[in-house]
Structures are given as structure tokens and as C-alpha cells.
Structure 1
Amino acid sequence: MRIILLLVLALAALPLRAQVPDAEPLAVTLETHRSQIAKPSRQSIGPVIEALAAVGPEARPVLAAWADRRLGLLGDRFVLIGADGLADVVTGEAVEGEAKALRPNSGVRALIAGALVQFQLSDPDPARRAAALEAIARQAEPGHLDVLRNADAETDPALAARRDRLTRLLTIRFDPDSAARIAAIESFGTDTGADFQAVLNPLLATTRIAAAQLPAVANIAAELTPGDDISRADAYRLLVDEGLAPARLTDADQKAALAAHIADGRVGGIALARLSDPALRDAAYGALVEAGLVPPAASADDVDAALAAHRFADIHAEPDASVTDAARSALGAMEIREIAMQGADLALDALSLASIYFLAAIGLAITFGVMRVINMAHGEFIMMGAYTGYVTQTVIADRTLSLVVALPAAFAVTFLAGVVLYRLVIRHLAKRPLETLLATFGVSIALQQIAKNIFGTQARPLTAPAWLDGAVSFGEGISISTIRVAIFLLALMFLALFLFIMKRTRLGLQVRAVTQDPGMAASMGINPDRIAMLTFGLGSGIAGIAGVAIGLFAKVTSELGSDYIVQSFMTVVVGGVGNIWGTLAGAALIGGLQKGIEVLNPANTLAAQTYMILFIIIFIQFRPRGIMPQKGRAAEA
């Protein structure tokens, strides 16, 4: 009997055991949502994708195949469609037949991509992890915050920093804890990134409302007073839009309504002949309203009463005031930093331009400041130096070597040109500044024409070496091209060289002696004519080196020098004739002034130059001898 009883119990248990499915969770999930997966809808497929993602890593190939349109149905069986044929999604076994590929639309594929990121963040391939972060950043959802926080530790430092930043950005957007959001905002410190700004700006977005009483829990950005903060017409229009007041009646609408209800020469009991009176028209319309023939409309008194009975305010979409305060503070600090960075960037641009003007004017400071010779051909010496650099590059292919050769070559060429100009023209016109100006102006035109005949009118390239490409950055948003940095250093080098020559060499001593008293210098055995020739050649040679430097970023044409001759003269005159430190100060003033005017009036270059010249004219009225005038007998010569 015991054996029979055990057999009966065992047989009775079989149906109960058969009711418990012995299938994998993935198979159960696919079977449960078969119809929705086969015909997905963007509005209802979200929970299905979440259910598949919750299965775990084994669902990843299915989701990836679905997104790539490689998931298909073979009868009632889900299969993966590959180059080698079909395979069962659960068992991986190869199957035979012709499957129907499932083709989700772009909206469904976007949801699938969002679900896949939790698997991609743990992928061994860094490229896949980076793609997952990019997908989250492009279309973030609240669920991604927990995915980022719960993902495996990132081993790649760059990806770890990127994931940490993305986690903090999503914390600001989606975390329900206000304290965590505020801490995330403050964690960015001095960051001015566009993604950070894009997260903060929606927190300060406002909606304008009107109500008899403002909501007690609302995060009010500002309460508005009709007539001051908001026009009365806009305030009443807001009341009408929210159904809190009837619309105003225009004259045209009133006349149309009255004309539509004329009966026996009367409207609302008032004769047509009397409707020229606005008050009677209002009374006639009121009678029609009482009769239910036209909708009610607000009068001027009704408008005043409605505006007085309601309050108006801009309400933040973000309900927590502490979060909006933190966002506002961060954006305010960011704006201050951006203004500071723009100022620093402008200062660097002005310093770069000042170094260019100083380099172009230092040779002129020698010839004009020391020798009192107005050399209008100084710009053409700059042009000759630039063309010397171009010719050197056509001979020597290596850019670095050609630049090293071009600098002394340009000095030699323009030094000799300056000596020749002095011997043939300048020395014969000594102490005749007007004739010197006219003669050198003629030489300037002749040199430009010679350059056109030799090199043509097209701009010639003067390419900088590769190590001068790019820019030097100073923090976020502040940078200056490497070429301009090199020119700045070159200007400092020539300043030091000039000071060394004038203060520490025999030539400098003789130049200072001839400058202060040529007659006394001659009686001491110094040849003033020879010193003047060497001084003129030195100034011309420095102009040639300036031409090579300027040609690295400016177009090399026969008119190159004319673009800098005016600024060079202004630099020398404003700084103080005959004073190298004054030339440096003048270059800083001219460069800073030009950049400042360009910022205020960037669209009109000619107007900017006009303003700069006007400023210089006014400046000279108060400081006719410049910022740092030369002292002693040399200043009186």
C-alpha cells in the first residue's frame, strides 16, 4: 500500500511540475513581448526594451542585432541574421529557413541604443566605451545616471575623466536630491565648458504666469508690475490667454457686431443715427450682450479691474530655489571669467601687434630718431627683407634652415641697400628734411616698381617651419599663434641688441657722440659721415629682418612695406624721437589702441584707422615730444 501511495503522489505532482516553465529568462521575455518586438511603436516600446535590458548581458546581442536590423522571425522563433546564415537567439544553434528581418524605425533604434550603453560601458574595447559615453551625452535620459554610477570602474584615465564629467552633468539634470545637484554644480569650479552652460541654462528658464494669487510653492524668478515690468496690454493679453478675463473688443469688431444686429433702424434699442457716440455704441453692444446675441467684452474699466485683481510673475521651471540660485551664481561667475579671458586674449593680441610695430619701427627709430632723416623708403626695406626670405626658401627647401639663412641674408641685403641709399641720396641732402622726404618717397616708388617687375604682382608665399605652426595656450580660451610669440621674442632680442650696441660698443659711443654734437665728435677724430652711413645701414638692416618676420604671417607683395610705414612713423613720434624706450612705449600704445578700436568697431577697418589717427593727433597736442622725449642737447638738435 505504501508503494502504491507513493506512485499516486508522484503522478499527481507531474502536472504541477509541468506548469513551472523551465525556460531561460531571455526566452520568456522574448515570448512575452513577441508582438510588440515584431511591430514596435515608439510610444509603447520603452518598457519592452527596459525588460530586455534587465535580463542582463545575454540580452546585449539581441538588442544590438535588433538595432542593426539583424534580428528576425522564423515562424514563432527569434533568430539572428548573419553572413553565415541564421542562428537561434537563445541557444545559438544554426537554423534553416527564410526569416523575416525586423526593421525598427530611427526612434526605436535610439531607445535601443540607450539601453545598450549599460553593456557598452563595461566593454573591454575602449572605443565601445567611448561610443557609449557619446551616446549618453547626445541623448541623455534619467535612467542613464544610475547606469553611469553603477558601471564598472573605468581604467582609461581620459575616459574616466569624461565619464565623471558626464555623471556630474546628469546629476545636475536628473538627480532628485537638490543637495547632490548643488554639489555637482559647485564641483565644476571655474569650468566654462559649453556642455556645462547647456545644462545650467534650462535651470533658469522661466514661464510667465498670471493668477489671483501666486502659488505658494512656486520658484518665482521675478514678480512683474503691469506698466513697469510688463506692458498693460501684454499683461491683459496674458489674462485672456489663460481664460482669466474676456478679450478686449476692437472698434472694427464692435462695428461688425452692431451692423449684424440692426433691426428696424435700431441696434440694442438705440437708433442708428445716435451710434456715432462711442458711449452709445458701448451701450448698444452691452444690450446685445444682455440679450445673449454677442459674447461679452471687456471695457476699459474691466481691464483696470482685472489687472488690479491679478498678480504676474516669471516662474522658474526648476522648482527648487536653491538649485536655481546655484546655477545663477555659476553662470554669473562664468560670465565674469569669460570677460576676463576675452580681456586677456585682447591684451595678448595687442602685445603681439605692438611687437610687430616695434620690430618694424626700431630701424626707423635709428634713422629718423638718431639721424633726423625722414626715410619714406623704410617700408620698402621691410619689403626687400620679406622677398629675401622668399628667395631663400626657393633655394633651400628645408624651412628651418631657410629661415636661419634668411634672417642674416635679409640683414645683409637691406644693410647694403641702406648704405647705397645713404651714399647716393641722403648724404647730399643733409639738414634738408623736406628734400630728403621727397627723394626717399621717390625711391620708395621706384623700389616698389622694381619688385613688381622681378616678382610680379601676385603675393608670394613665405612659409614658416612646422615648429612655428599652431598656437601657445594660456588656460582655457586664451591662445596666441606661435609665429606671433616668435616675433615678440625677436623684438625683445633686437631691443637688447640695440641697447648693447648703443651702450656697450665703440660704435654706439660714436653714434651718441655724433648725435649730440657732430662738430665736437669730428674734432675728437670721429668721422661723422662714416658713422651716419653705418647707422643708416644698421637701421635698414633691422628693417630687413623685420620684413622676414612679418612675411611669415602677412602676404609678401610689393606693397608690404606701405602697410607698416605709417604705423612705424606714428610709433616713433608718439614714443619720443631718438629714444628706444619711447619707441617701445609707442608701439605698445599704438598696438593696444588699434586692437581696442577694432573690438569696438570690428566691421569698419578704415574707420578704425581714422579714429586711431585722430587720437594720435590729439595726443601730440598734449605731448608734442612724445611719451619719453629725448633729453639734453640731442633733443635740441
Structure 2
Amino acid sequence: MFRHLLILVLGLGLAGAAQAQDLQPVLQIHADEIANPSRSSVSVTLDDLVSTGAPQVSDFLERWQDKGVWQRDDGLFFFAKQSGDDLAIQDIDSGAQSVAPENAFTQLKPNGGVRRLIGTALVQFQLTDPDVDRRSTAVDSIARRPDASQLAPLLKSIEGEPDKKLKARKTQLANFLSASFAPDTPDRIAAINSMSTDTSIEARAVLNQILTVKAGVSADQPKGNVARILTVGSDLSQADAYARLVDAGLAAPVVSHNDIRDALAANVVDGRAGGIPTAQLDTQDARERAYTALAQAGTVPPLVTMAEQRAATENYVFYEAYDEKNIAITEAARAALNSIETRVGVSQAVDLTLDALSLASIYFLAAIGLAITFGVMGVINMAHGEFIMMGAYTGYVVQLFVPDYTLSIIVALPLAFAITFAAGVVMERLVIRHLYHRPLETLLATFGISIALQQLAKNIFGTQARPLTSPAWLDGALVFSDVIQISYIRIAIFVLALLFLGLILFVLKRTRLGLEVRAVTQNPGMAASMGINPDRINMLTFGLGSGIAGIAGVAIGLYAKVTSEMGADYIVQSFMTVVVGGVGNVWGTLAGASLIGFLQKGIEWFNPSNTLAAQTYMVLFIILFIQFRPKGIVAQKGRAAAD
């Protein structure tokens, strides 16, 4: 009696309590529902709490959702935490804190469904919370579980949102909710139309949800918002069409072979089933004749022949209808989705082009040193990949002593060039110069050197991959849209490839060394007669090609793993790049790298699950290409071209 009187008094004083911003009186009105909430009825309680506008509501909903609300024996609610055998309690309105025995309180434990509803109500407060992280969390919560009730508070929070990025996200999400839940059709159509340029996965998911269809069958022309009429034989198989009739209760089910066997076994009388001795039921035709006899006697359901199935499906129209009843909305959604898919297709082509350019720049860096040595000297250097590996390990060692990653890369690039240049000169002086004009022996010798260098790297650095860490400003990716993005490391490698292209062209076209290299490349005998020392040029050229491979190793190491075998991953592509582009030509190497990079990415796009198959197809294409253009894309000029 006293409890009901207390609730009545609290109810009469609700207006005054709301003005005083006290939440406890409202909680007492709904005390039973708060203490034992159910998903079907808690919404009324939540609506009343939200409508008070009291600042404590947000905190109460959070605590309630996290099981941090306790009810005292007299019915009052408190925030509480366990502290040994007691509770540290806090008054919901005043915030006064005290300690009380736990046995005088009961913890409120709403179930998962109720907690989700509390979370939905809580989002309305979090959208305007002073903390930007809480506002962002609220927006993410709406995106995960969109609901019509969230549209109004979301729209209301947009205008006062100070964070530009979050405001744009709120606007985008409001469009998504408006497209699905706006009460007026023009508002829904306007929201849908505004999404026609949004290529995000969320936008496509919203439109696909609006365009959800369900299968239907009708004896007459179908009514409602029909998506399309299905043609039996092309859009729908005969078996599927008849199965839909069976599911709709418009046709008798098909009797399977197993059903026939089971029916015959259940109706054996005096050694016969359907009038046929069981010993003769060893063929499907005999079993069907026996079953037909049982069906004519009314013992089992009749068989449905293929002719009967075709006749039945011809009498009905099969179709797909939109779940959305409004034709104008589905038409707008279809037009917006078509526009998005077109943009996505273009974006995918751009993204594929960027990936291909990135891969081409990597192949160009890896192959340009080989193009110089192979083109000028005709040396098949199978150890070229190991010079790339040496450059990558140089970058790793530098970072052990220079912890600043930006400075370490600046130091590693020239140091890698110097080390691999020296290694190339030593290799040329000790091995290569004794094997000129003996390509098979050169190939075998350099192959042996590559194995030796790999083993040396394993002995020094071990078999585990070593990190070559990029500077912080190369972390992440340049994002143009949900479809188009490219990592900053790939951009840096692309820029480095362009710088090398310009530098090599300058050396070859504007310096005396370049003039002598080109002379030796085109006609070694004539160059020697003009006072040029081909032996010295060969040494410097081989060192230059090796040094460039070392710099390429630093760049590639930022993108790929640094191991003793990393050079083997690029040696085949490097040779293909040089041969396809045109031996001894910088522009040919660039053209070859571009062709191979675009070709590999294109093949991978058609067969993304099997990169090994893509590389195999690429090699086959290259072999065919060389058959028709053996001198490469950019053929060598001069007398040497005819050799």
C-alpha cells in the first residue's frame, strides 16, 4: 500500500521533478520495468527517460547497459560497484557517494536484447556529446545497426557538429537512413539520388537492400512492383520452376527414385509390389510401372512425368518482385546503383592502372642495371638479383646504426650504390672480363656466384626475413575513394624510378661517360679506333649497373621482404623486361617494364586467385611476343644491332 502511494505521489510531482532535472522520480514510475525489463515493453520506459532531457539520462543508460545499476530494498536506484563485501554506491541525481552492505541491493542485469535497445536510445545522447570520440562511436553504432528511430536525432546533430570529417560522415549516414526510412517518398528519392556518386560499399549495400527481391509465381499477370519476369529455360531451369510450383502448393511434388523404392518396399504383398514380382523390380522402368499401378489404386501419390511438369510450368508466370512496394523508389534506386556501378568500374580500371604503374616501376628499377650491363657488354649476369639483395641488406644494416628511418634511407641509398658498384667492379675484373664472348660459361659462372652470395647472406644474416622499415611519412596509403588507393611506399618507388630514368638519360646523353658507353654499345671496334678503351668502359658499365641494382634493392626492400633469396624473385622479370623492351636501350627497358607490369596485373585481374597461373600466362605471352618482335619493343640502332 505504501509503495503504491509513493508511486502516486511521485507521479503527481513528475512535472516538478523534470524541471528540477531529477531522474529518480521517473525511474520510480517505471521501477518494475527497469528492474525486470523485457525487449517487448522496455521501449516505453526508454522513451520516457529520453523525453525528460535530464543530463543524467545518458550516464544512467550507459551504467544500466553495463550492469552498473543496483536497486535498494526500498526501490530506489543507485550506481554501484562492488568493494569487497560492500558496495560503493553513488546517488543518480546528486552524485553523493557512500558505502553500503551488498545484501541490501540487487544488481540489474538486462539481457542482450534489452541492452541493444538501451544502446539505440543512448546513441541519441552520444551524437551531441562534447567528446568527439564518443560522437564518432555513436555514428559507428548507427552504421552497424541502422534503425528508423535514429534518423531524426542524427539529422538534428549534423548542423552543430564542429568536426568537419565527422560532419561529412553524419551527412552520408543520414542519406543512407533517409533512403531507407524517411517517412516521405520525395525525401527518400532525393536521398537515393544523392547517393548516385557515392562508390562506397555502404552506399551499394543500402541500394541493394532497397532492391531486394523475392520470387513469386502467378497464374495471371503478376501485380505489384515486379522486378522482372523469369523465362523458364534461360532465367530458370525446368526443375527449379516446377519446384517453385510445388512450394506454392500449385503442383504435386515430384516422386524421386528413392521415394519409389521406399513405397514399393512398403507395399509388398505375397512377394509382389504393384502386381509385379519383386524379383523383376531390378530396373527403373519396372519399378515405375509397379509404382504407377499402386498410384492408380490410390495407395501412393501419382508420378509426375516430365511432360506433365512442362505443361504445369507453361500455365504460370514466374517473376521476381521487389520487397519495396513503391515503384518510384525502386526505379530511383536502380538508376543510382547503375550509376555507382559504372563509376566503380571506372575506378577499378584506374586502381588497376595505378597498381600496374607501381609494379612496372619496381620492375624498371630491378632491370635498369641489368639493361646497362647486358646491353653494353652482352653479359648474362645471373647474379644481378643478388646485387639487389645486397642493396636491401645494406639498408637494413644502416638502420641498425641510424635509428632515424628517414635519415637511414638517405644514408643507405648512396652507400648501397657504393657497395654494389665496388662488388660489380670486383666481379667484372676477376671473372667477367675473362669470359667475354662466351655466353654459356658466363651464365654458369654468374649463376655460381649468385648461389655463393645467397649462402654468404644466410651465414651473415640468417634465414629469417629482416625488416627494412620505411619512414613514418611513407606509412598508409593515398586514398582517392573506396576503390582507388595506393600506398605511399609504392608512390615513392614510382618517383624514384622516374628520378633514375632522368638521371640515367642525363648520364648517357649529356656526359662523356655516356657518350663512350653508347659508342661501345653500337660499335666496339670503331669506338676503340677512336681512342676509347672498351675494357675500361666495360668495367665502369658493369659497376654502374650493379650500383643501380643496389639502390633498387633499398627501394624494393621497403616494399618486399628482405631475405637472401629476394633477388631470385626479380631476376626472371628483369631479364624479360630487358629482352622485351630492347637490349641496351633505356626507353626499351621502360617500355618492357610497363608492358610486363600491365600484362601481369591484367592477367591477375582475370584470375585473381592464382598469381602463379598469371605469371605462367605472362611468360607464354612474352615467348610469343619475342617470336614476332625478336629485337624488342625499341630495337637497338647502329651496327651492333645487326650482329
TM-score by length of 1: 0.83
1:326 to 326, 332, 340: 332
Q: Is the 8 A contact 1:382 1:545 kept in 2?
A: yes
* Closer, same or farther: CA 70–558 of 1 in aligned 2, 3 Å: closer
Distance 1:284 1:189, change over 3 A: closer
State how 1:128-527 maps to structure 2 within 5 Å: 128-150=134-156, 153-157=159-163, 158-216=165-223, 218-248=224-254, 282=292, 285-286=295-296, 288=298, 306-527=312-533
Matches of 1:560 and 1:264 in 2, distance apart?
80
Cα distance in 2 between the residues matched to 1:430 and 1:572:
19
Contact 1:378 1:565 in 2 (8 A): yes
SS at match of 1:188: helix
For 1:617-632, what aligned pairs fall within 5 Å after superposition?
617-632=623-638
Picking from 15, 20, 23, the partner of 2:13 is 23
Question: Structure 1: how far apart are the matches of 2:242 and 2:451?
Answer: 73
- Which ranges of structure 2 fall in alignment gaps of 5 or more residues? 1-7, 19-23, 81-86
Paired AA for residue 49 in structure 1: L
1:43 paired with 2:49, answer no
C-alpha separation between the residues in 2 aligned to 1:113 and 1:615? 58
- Structure 1 residues 527 and 330: CA distance shift in structure 2, 3 A: same
Against the structure 1 CA distance between its residues 272 and 557, is the aligned structure 2 distance closer, same or farther, given a 3 Å change threshold?
A: closer
Whether the 8 Å CA contact 2:226–2:319 is kept in 1: the answer is yes
- Tell me, yes or no, if the aligned pair for 2:292 and 2:303 is still in contact at 8 Å: no
Read off the aligned partner of 1:565 and give its amino acid letter.
Answer: I
How far off is 1:402 after superposition? 2.9
Give the Å deviation of 1:336. 3.0
Percentage of identical aligned residues: 57
CA positional deviation for 1:456? 4.3
What secondary structure is seen at the aligned counterpart in 1 of 2:318?
Answer: strand
**1:537 counterpart = 2:537:** no
Q: Is the 8 A contact 1:72 1:79 kept in 2?
A: yes
- Contact 1:204/1:316, CA 8 A, preserved across alignment: yes
**Who is 1:596 aligned against?**
602
* Equivalent AA in structure 2 for residue 80 of structure 1: F
CA distance 1:327–1:563, change in 2 (3 Å): same
Residues 10, 29 of structure 2: 8 Å contact kept = no
Contact 1:86 1:96 in 2 (8 A): no
Distance in 2 between the 1:90 and 1:458 partners?
Answer: 62
SS at match of 1:57: coil
Say if 1:88 and 1:95, in contact at 8 Å, map to a contact too.
Answer: no
SS of equivalent to 2:160: coil
Q: CA deviation at 1:101?
A: 4.6
Which amino acid is 1:45 matched to?
V
Structure number with bigger Rg:
1
- Residue 385 to residue 22, structure 1, CA distance change in 2 (3 Å): closer
CA distance in 2, matches of 1:598, 1:197: 25
Report the alpha carbon displacement of residue 366 of structure 1 after superposing the two structures with TM. Answer: 1.8
User: Aligned partners of 2:31, 2:397: CA distance in 1, in Å?
Assistant: 76
- Compute the RMSD of aligned alpha carbons: 4.0
Aligned mates of 2:290, 2:612 — CA distance in 1: 65
2:587 and 2:222 map into 1 onto residues whose CA distance is 68
Partner residue in 2 for 1:14? none
Q: Which aligned pairs between 1:562-573 and structure 2 lie closer than 5 A?
A: 562-573=568-579
Contact persistence 1:412–1:541 (CA under 8 A): yes
Q: How does 1:60-79 map to 2 (within 5 A)?
A: 60=57, 66-69=64-67, 77-79=75-77
CA-to-partner distance for each residue in 1:26-71, whole Å, 9 max, x for gaps? 7887666554444332223333433443444378266556545565
SS at match of 2:78: strand
1:364 partner SS: helix
Moved more, 471-480 or 540-549: 471-480
Q: Which moved more, 1:149-158 or 1:344-353?
A: 149-158
| Contact 1:87–1:95 (8 Å) recurs in 2 | no
Measured in 1, the distance between the counterparts of 2:311 and 2:341 equals: 42
- For 1:29 and 1:483, the matched residues in 2 are separated by 58
Contact 1:79 1:86 in 2 (8 A): no
In the alignment, which residue of structure 2 is the partner of 1:616?
Answer: 622
Structure 2 match to 1:80: 78
SS state of the match for residue 472, structure 1? strand
Give the Cα separation in 2 of the matches to 1:388 and 1:266.
89
Report whether the alignment pairs 1:110 with 2:116: yes
CA distance in structure 2 between the aligned counterparts of 1:198 and 1:561, rounded to whole angstroms: 44
In 1: Cα distance, 2:423 partner to 2:55 partner: 82
The offset of 1:351, in angstroms, is: 1.7
Q: CA deviation at 1:570?
A: 1.8
Is the 1:71–1:78 contact (alpha carbons within 8 Å) kept by the matching residues of 2?
no
- Classify 1:501/1:322 alpha carbon distance in 2 versus 1 (closer, same or farther; 3 Å): same
More displaced stretch, 337-346 vs 563-572: 337-346
* CA pair 301-59 structure 1, distance change in 2 beyond 3 A: farther
**SS of match in other structure, 2:321:** strand
Structure 1 position 627, deviation (Å): 0.6
Within 2, Cα distance between the matches of 1:102 and 1:432?
A: 88
Deviation at 1:589, TM superposition (A): 1.4
Classify 1:51/1:597 alpha carbon distance in 2 versus 1 (closer, same or farther; 3 Å): same
Q: Alpha carbons of 1:31 and 1:256: their partners in 2 closer, same or farther (altered >3 Å)? A: same
- The CA deviation string for residues 180-211 of structure 1, in whole angstroms up to 9 with x for no partner, is 11210121242222322222222121111223
Q: Answer yes or no: is the 8 Å Cα contact 2:56–2:93 preserved in 1.
A: no
The SS at the match of 2:555 is helix
Greater CA drift, 297-306 or 365-374: 297-306
Aligned counterpart, 2:3? none
1-structure distance, mates of 2:610, 2:157 = 55
Query: Does the CA-based 8 Å contact 2:43-2:117 persist in structure 1?
Result: yes
**CA distance in 1: counterparts of 2:554 and 2:350, whole angstroms:** 28
**1:78–1:89 contact (8 Å) kept in structure 2:** no
In the comparison of the two structures, how many residue pairs are matched?
613
1:582 Cα deviation from its structure 2 partner: 0.8
Tell whether the 8 Å contact from 1:265 to 1:271 is kept in structure 2 after alignment. Answer: no
CA contact (8 A) 2:275 2:290 kept: no
AA aligned to 2:614 is A
TM-score (norm 2): 0.82
Contact 1:224-1:314 within 8 A present in 2 as well:
yes
Residue in structure 1 matched with residue 4 of structure 2 by the alignment: none
What is the identity, as a one-letter code, of the residue corresponding to 1:24?
A: L
The answer as to whether partners of 2:587 and 2:634 remain within 8 angstroms in 1 is yes
Q: Measure the CA separation in 1 of the matches of 2:335 and 2:489.
A: 39
**AA partner of residue 374 (structure 1):** I
Q: Distance in 2 between matches of 1:175 and 1:225?
A: 35
